[in-house]
A and B are shown apart, each in its own frame.
Chain A
């Protein structure tokens, strides 16, 4: 049984895993790129080793180096986190071949769920409904895709076979746009995953994105920890997650949870994973995909169930039984997570890079902040734009929203632009407060410019602060000019002048 874990990741998730290990008394080995020498995960780990240059392909994607470092440091296991190598079966296999434990599913399950065509065929055979599309058809050429498209019907989605996180994904509303968008999707898929294969899928309109957290041990136990509502997205990137979902009732929750466990069993799943569903207006639900790893939004589930998912992952990887049976899992209260990204919500959410000159995170009752950065840290263009995750818990959804509002206003980050104002506007949105949103809400029915009715106008305060800052600038500028006129004090000048006269 391993006593030391290498964490093959960076940022907040590496910190999250190090914390779990430390609480379990397990030693930790961090790895880092040149850009991350001073990152929090390097500072918190027991040991840390350089992987290489900043670009991910030269550092965090170097499977060979990761395994070498693990062997060299006598780490018995590797935790891949999310992203990077987390869903690469060849990596999981290489870890096992090196005699190490992989804290995650078996390579066969990653392969089965990672190839979406195989995943669809497998879960369909197990009786889980899927969204209509070309996934089972193998890798099709552009011409074949264009021929099949009308049978699926528009609007539809082009998705990367190897994809995730919205990369290589394009929406097609008009058949004549299809060829160009296939090219664009292939290009993005090639650069993100090194695989340009794409497939088509029917676009479910007014869809909700609801996912179920799964835990499975090596003794045949598979349980779910309830759902996470992840419909609040922009360009297929999740921005906010909550649990439970306002859209599910107990009956539907039980049915979806059971089918999620069935889907996991169909690939002989082990460890933590997530089954994503699309749910339409009539509450029909379709299997979307399985994420065979820890999710970014796992803390939401942790706060309502009290289950430490990362600790369970490590227990499972050590061959232990799950701490919980399905009937032990109860959801208590409401949890909500805002992803705080270095993006400018007032300028098309463009990424913002630079030095975080100051960070003051919110604290107090019911607030959790998972982050890998701190004041003085540089947000580089090499990795994703996630600065932190702000998670709150409340007894009801209403108290959770009020607490999130409070926490967002406390959060101070300077040096880069963040999407905190976006989340503040969401928390004030009547539709969001009513739980009335789907995956298109942000793009189609939400604007940063429209203030909600009834919100107190504070324009005069803004005007006063702007004037006071402008006034200060003018004064400072004029002082600098005066100081520059003479390099020494007037008394010194008098002294020098007097000496000259002697």
Chain B
């Protein structure tokens, strides 16, 4: 099975030829890969060199925390890569953004209103958790479509607070 892993502008071609062998950019490497203490810590022995990292699946690939550095890795297999190359001209723009609560907490204030134009980085909600007031900022510009919460509300993790159009 052959995969293409992309980190920023670097692309690695990685073929899993067997349980014990990888071919990385044409070079054969012996491999022993195990999950330590359950996911997400993994131990990798690569030609005898020992590596350990946290690997978290994300919506678009994997996040790897290795020696204090975080890598965003996009992964495609051969079929996905062919499909994408074939359809690369059609780009779909989905403008909607949902602000979800990153942790449970208490809504302190909402400095925006529905219908308002928002700039990137603008403060959408002030959420109190762990004795700290956290300003949740917008990652993009847009219009406030809906506000699902009111000041004083307790919210659960991942609850949708605000929808931007």
Interface residues of A (CB under 8 A from B): 167, 187-188, 191-192, 342, 344, 346-348, 350-353, 357-358, 360, 381-385, 408-409, 412, 414, 420-421, 423-425, 427-428, 448, 451, 458-471, 473
Q: Which residues from 83 to 140 on chain B have a C-beta closer than 8 Å to any C-beta of chain A?
A: 102-105, 108, 128-134, 137
**Contact yes or no, A384 B131, CB < 8 A:** yes
**Contact yes or no, A466 B5, CB < 8 A:** yes
Given contacts A464-B24, A466-B5, A468-B44, contact A351 B16 (CB under 8 A): no
What string of 1s and 0s marks CB contacts (under 8 Å) between B36-71 and chain A?
111111101010000101110100011011111111
**Contact yes or no, A469 B37, CB < 8 A:** no
Q: Which residues of A contact B61 (CB under 8 A)?
A: 466, 470
| Cα-based distance from A462 to B65 in the complex (angstroms) | 8
**Contact yes or no, B62 A470, CB < 8 A:** yes
- From A409, A423, A465, A473, contact of B42 by CB (8 A): A465
Given contacts A353-B104, A471-B1, contact A462 B68 (CB under 8 A): no
**Contact yes or no, B64 A466, CB < 8 A:** yes
**Contact yes or no, B16 A463, CB < 8 A:** no
Least CB distance, A454 to chain B, in whole angstroms:
14
| Cα-based distance from A178 to B105 in the complex (angstroms) | 28
User: Which secondary structure characterizes the binding site on chain A?
Assistant: helix
| Cα-based distance from A446 to B93 in the complex (angstroms) | 34
**Contact yes or no, A458 B22, CB < 8 A:** no
| Cα-based distance from A424 to B54 in the complex (angstroms) | 15
| Cα-based distance from A346 to B22 in the complex (angstroms) | 31
- From A192, A464, A473, contact of B12 by CB (8 A): A464
- From B31, B44, B68, B128, contact of A424 by CB (8 A): B68
**Contact yes or no, B53 A358, CB < 8 A:** no
Given contacts A350-B134, A351-B134, A414-B40, contact A467 B51 (CB under 8 A): no
Listed by A's residue number, 6 A-B pairs whose Cβ atoms lie within 8 Å are A351-B103, A353-B104, A414-B41, A460-B12, A467-B12, A470-B3
Asked if B161 is at the interface (CB within 8 A of a chain A CB), the reply is: no
Q: Which residues of A contact B131 (CB under 8 A)?
A: 167, 192, 383-384
**Contact yes or no, A421 B130, CB < 8 A:** no
| Cα-based distance from A203 to B95 in the complex (angstroms) | 42
**Contact yes or no, B37 A412, CB < 8 A:** yes
User: Which secondary structure characterizes the binding site on chain B?
Assistant: strand
- From A353, A358, A425, A468, contact of B37 by CB (8 A): A358
**Contact yes or no, A465 B66, CB < 8 A:** yes
- From B22, B36, B75, B102, contact of A466 by CB (8 A): B75
What string of 1s and 0s marks CB contacts (under 8 Å) between B1-40 and chain A?
1010101001010101000001010000001010011111
Q: Which residues of A contact B42 (CB under 8 A)?
A: 465, 468-469
**Contact yes or no, A461 B46, CB < 8 A:** yes
- From B5, B54, B65, B104, contact of A467 by CB (8 A): B5
Most buried by B among A384, A420, A427, A460: A460
Closest B residue to A422 by CB, please name it: B68
Asked if B164 is at the interface (CB within 8 A of a chain A CB), the reply is: no
Most buried by A among B33, B38, B44, B46: B33
- From B40, B66, B157, contact of A458 by CB (8 A): B66
The 9 closest A-B pairs by CB, nearest first: A424-B68, A466-B62, A466-B73, A462-B71, A463-B5, A462-B64, A463-B12, A351-B130, A358-B37
**Contact yes or no, B40 A353, CB < 8 A:** no
Given contacts A414-B54, A428-B68, contact A459 B10 (CB under 8 A): yes
**Contact yes or no, A464 B71, CB < 8 A:** no
Q: Which residues of B contact A420 (CB under 8 A)?
A: 68
**Contact yes or no, A464 B22, CB < 8 A:** yes
Given contacts A414-B54, A471-B16, contact A462 B104 (CB under 8 A): no
Q: Which residues of B contact A471 (CB under 8 A)?
A: 1, 3, 16
**Contact yes or no, A458 B14, CB < 8 A:** no
**Contact yes or no, B38 A451, CB < 8 A:** no
Closest A residue to B134 by CB, please name it: A350
**Contact yes or no, A381 B130, CB < 8 A:** yes
**Contact yes or no, B70 A412, CB < 8 A:** no
Least CB distance, A187 to chain B, in whole angstroms:
8
Q: Which residues of A contact B38 (CB under 8 A)?
A: 357-358, 414
Least CB distance, B50 to chain A, in whole angstroms:
11
Q: Which residues of A contact B137 (CB under 8 A)?
A: 348
| Cα-based distance from A206 to B69 in the complex (angstroms) | 28
**Contact yes or no, B7 A463, CB < 8 A:** yes
- From B37, B103, B104, contact of A360 by CB (8 A): B37
- From A187, A384, A467, contact of B130 by CB (8 A): A384
Closest B residue to A354 by CB, please name it: B157
Q: Which residues of A contact B24 (CB under 8 A)?
A: 460, 464
Closest B residue to A350 by CB, please name it: B102
| Cα-based distance from A460 to B24 in the complex (angstroms) | 9
Closest B residue to A351 by CB, please name it: B130
A421-B68, A460-B24 known; 18 new pairs, CB 8 Å cut-off, are: A191-B108, A191-B128, A351-B134, A353-B129, A358-B38, A358-B41, A409-B67, A412-B41, A414-B38, A424-B67, A458-B67, A461-B44, A463-B10, A463-B71, A465-B44, A465-B51, A470-B57, A471-B1
Q: Which residues of A contact B75 (CB under 8 A)?
A: 466-467, 470
Q: Which residues of A contact B36 (CB under 8 A)?
A: 412
